[in-house]
Structure 1
Amino acid sequence: MLRSVAAIVLPNVAPFELGVACEVFGIDRADTGGPTFDFVVCGPRPGMVTTKGGLYSINVEHGLEATEDVDLVILPAYGELDGVPDSVLEAVRAAHARGAWVLSICSGAFALGAAGLLDGRRCTTHWMHSAHLQERFPAARVDPAVLYVDDDRVITSAGTAAGIDACLHLIRRELGAAAATAVARRMVVPPHRDGGQAQFVDTPLPCDADTLAPLLAWMVENLETDLTVPDLAARAFVSERTFARRFRAETGTTPAAWVTRQRVVRAQEMLERSDASIEEIARLCGFGTAAVLRHHFARTLGTSPQAYRRTFALSPVR
């Protein structure tokens, strides 16, 4: 269970990426139905630490002993990619060895690589650093295109906002969809972006009027309907070919894959919050039958709807 978190601050830490960790895990959201974590910021030694660009410094009050019994250790982006103290590497290795999660945001992945935790694993970082990460750690399997990767309690994410997505993914995995949604709602960010989505769009859309955002919101509200590409393209007033191209440009995936993932998320929420049968949930989420729901649930989450409900139901399962 995810309850305690430590963020390790290194010299020239990126303020935004550190802020992501603080915002997601460092705020008590009990008053709005969100989870509360024991959160601490620590470093190789207590004292003042510079931030990226040298604009200001922050006072770190705790040493690396703060990582010794937490459930999650976070490495935000930092300055000297190849100069991580041995004490930090040992702390990260020890945390993972005893069963804790480790999560990097942007260039924080280089610290995980130096600790040996990326060897043989899929991982990612900001696309600008991906070639260097692969060169520096040839045993890692770097994917420069995705938002985040979860591989055996090691989560790596791309830059800036992708760190939020990775943190929400971990909360959803450990505490359930309702907890992740509560955090996202308070932060006013999307509750779920799949890790496989693209980091960036090669050809930006020409104007705001061309975005599919209103259609995506409508699709989320109508997951129980038959969301076919011809019908969606017609609703967007474009050809099927243009719709498919634009959809991948904006979401980094296909309409079918996007809809399936949103339906799984909806099923997670219903399994947590309601006592509806699996058949009823399958119908309301758009899967049609319980067998189809079980198939996609197992493929996406590696568990069954029944097992998920037993773990994350907000009220006792009768």
Structure 2
Amino acid sequence: MSYGGLSASESGASILSGGQSWNSGGKTAKAPAGQSGDLSSLTGLDSLRLESTALPWPPNSAASELGKTLGSAQGGTIGAPTLPGIADGAPLADGADRHTDGNSRGGASLPDERLALADLRDGIADQLSGLFGFMNQVVNRERVRHASNVSMMMRRVDKDLKSTYESMKEMLGNLTKQMAMLVREVETSREQVRAIQQKYTTARQSVETQAQYVLELEAVLDGQCEGVSSAMKQLNEQSVGKSQAMAKNAEENRRRELKLRAENERLRAELRRAKDAADLLSSEGRPPLLPEMSASWTRRSPPTPPEGDP
């Protein structure tokens, strides 16, 4: 993964490894002669204290944390960097190149050191800015992708809910129609039951009225002549019995008549078959009839021989 045009390994190696230059955002700052690129190689500047300057740092949390870490590692703050080997409060002579670490390492002026530190600072800031921009792009891309997935899921859920709503609406409509039909059928059945009950009530009232009339009539007849009502009951029972017997006899006579008619039809069919068979046998015993002859036909006798001929 690259940050600001450099990979993480390349940026760390170019800044903190022991090389001859610092790579800062495409810029290369040469280290002092005879010194490596590590910050610990600046110990040759004995009794040299850098002037405290406020470094313009990018206003992002990652850069601020890195600046605090670097400042605490060097024993100071990022606003006032202090290099190892530089004594605090050491006087700095104008125009003097004091690089004594027991061995002379060559002259390196203070502006060169400041330029190198400024380049290092700018490179770290550029790389952190690039890292922050890349991470922001990644977060935005993931956010857009997740938003797209969520939107697609919501559309699917909305579609499923709509289809479910339509099916439920159709089912409820069918159930409502069936319920209305059942209600109409129940009302029709109730009306029929009420009509049957009314007819039954009317018939029962009629029977009761008729029985009451018969009882009153029998009482009147018994008052006029004793025993008439019982005799009429017997006669009525006999009449009913005779009527039932006559109905039974009529039914038997009807069945018997139907049976006789069927027997007559069967006998007639057998008679026709017998006649047809007799006609067929009589026609097979004699030759067929010749056609009728014409009226001009006459019979001729053979000639008679003379008397003297033998």
Larger Rg: 2
| TM-score for the superposition, normalised by structure 1 | 0.18
User: Which structure: greater strand fraction?
Assistant: 1
| TM-score for the superposition, normalised by structure 2 | 0.19
User: Which structure: greater helix fraction?
Assistant: 2
